[in-house]
Chains A and B, each alone.
Chain A
Amino acid sequence: MATPTHRPIAVFRMHPAILWGTVFAALLLQAFLPVKLPLARLFDFPLLIAIYFALVKRDPIFAIGLGAGMGLAQDALSNGFIGVFGMAKALTAYLAATASFKFELDEVLARLGLTALLVPVHGLFLLVLQRGLLEAPPPFQPLDLLSGALVNVGLGLVLFQLLDRFRRPA
């Protein structure tokens, strides 16, 4: 999986309508799917979308903007404080974009491995943020974190394959 950084880097692009449609759909699903499907509360569509586009476009600034924007939208739709998900997703997307420069992540397994790493990082960052800022932070539940990572890796396996169909080399 690991390759030297001075190799030619493959960068992909996607039609803006697909990109923003995907983002919108992810936010919509994140907001309304748990109402119908309780297990969906473990899903984090915006995070997976942010990771995917960070890996595909390999532009950290774009990744930060996308992650922060999606996170803020998620915050706005939730009942929490605006900025919590925005910070966590901006950081995760930045890490994903940075990692895309260092490693060859076109393979599905590599991207899933990175997703399996970044989802707990996202969760831990959220936890640190909540513990540091909130007066009554939620309790640390490692099983929830682990199960969330597993569920989202599984979701990513499907989602990334689906989105790969729409990408074009830049």
Chain B
Amino acid sequence: MFDLNSSELRASERPPERETPERVQAFVLHHRAFFVLLAVLVAQLLLLSVQITRNQKVRLIQVWAVAVFDPFARALRGSYDATTGAWGSYRDLWRAQQQNRELNLQLTAARSQILQLSQQAAEAQRLRELLEFKNQLPFPAIAAEVIASSPGESSKAVFIDKGADAGLTPDLAVMTSAGVVGKTLAVFPHTAQILLITDTSSGVACTLEKSRVQGILKGGNLNACQIHYVMNEAPVSLGETVLTSGLDQIYPKGLPVGFVAEIAEGNIYKTIKVRPAAALDRLETVLVVVKPPSSELQAQNAPSHP
């Protein structure tokens, strides 16, 4: 406590320190002559620098000025370049992002268009094949679009966009360029129901192309058909083409139905599984063969039964 008081006393006895500006002023006044000398030397140095020239007649003051200002100018230029560069990069990036977004949209649209065009091309190809096939057919035929399929699991049928108004009647053969599809089952004014050959209730009189063995093709499970009533002794080979025989009075003779996929011996009759020639699971356009007059049918069928 005593020490503290004494130190406080000593501090109070200390003369007040001069303010900083006063000290600076005193220092300048004390060294006035030196500062005057400095000013005179600097002034004359500047005077000299205006007169003296260096390479290519450049005045020294210019050299000095450039030497002093050049680093700042370079730094400023560098900062400006960096800033503008960064801003330009950001702007380019933003533009690239926008462009990327637009290009993605265009790509999506183009892909969609390509898909649409390829579908149209496929459809055109399919229709061209169908038209060629139609022209080759000796019977008149009406083209129709498949518009719906049968909702039942057990029944295999589809609906087409042509009906009675197009001249369709029940029991007309329906086919594609690949082969027989089925027959018209029910005809409505503007639509018609087609019973596929794979339906269990379907029956097609057929004959094997090479062996000329005849049978009845009925629908089976898993989109396959089976030929019934073919004797075990009948020579049937795998892959053999199955054609319509025309005996059922519905399907014209000689239309491809499918190919022999499996052969098995039974008690009396063979079990012959047939893979349909037409792609029944992805039908789009079909031809409905308008039934020719019965006389024509009989005339057509006549050669097959000599």
Residues of chain A touching chain B, judged by Cβ–Cβ distance below 8 Å, are 60-61, 64-65, 68, 72, 81-84, 86-87, 90-91, 94, 97-98, 133-135
Contacts and interface: CB of A to CB of B under 8 A. Distances in A.
Contact of A83 (B34, B48, B53): B48
B37 A84 contact: no
Main secondary structure of the interface of B (DSSP, over half): helix
Interface residues of B, number: 18
Given A90-B40, A90-B41, A60 B48 contact: no
A64 B32 CA distance: 12
A68 B48 CA distance: 13
Contacts of A90: 37, 40-41, 44
Contacts of B51: 81-83
Given A60-B37, A81-B52, 4 more contacts: A64-B40, A90-B37, A90-B41, A94-B34
Interface in B22-65: 32-34, 36-37, 40-41, 44-45, 47-49, 51-55, 60
A115 to B, nearest CB: 20
Interface string B162-175: 00000000000000
CB-CB nearest 6 A-B residue pairs: A60-B33, A83-B44, A83-B48, A83-B47, A81-B51, A87-B44
> Residue among B32, B51, B53 with the most chain A CB within 10 A?
B51
Contact of B33 (A68, A82, A86, A97): A97
Nearest to A62: B33
A81 to B, nearest CB: 5
A135 B44 CA distance: 18
B32 A61 contact: yes
B37 A86 contact: no
A64 B45 contact: no
B52 A86 contact: no
Nearest to B33: A60
B50 to A, nearest CB: 9
A135 B53 CA distance: 8
A82 B54 CA distance: 16
B33 A98 contact: yes
A87 B41 contact: yes
A91 B48 contact: no
Contacts of B55: 135
A11 to B, nearest CB: 15
A155 to B, nearest CB: 25
Contact of A133 (B32, B34, B41, B48): B48
B37 A133 contact: no
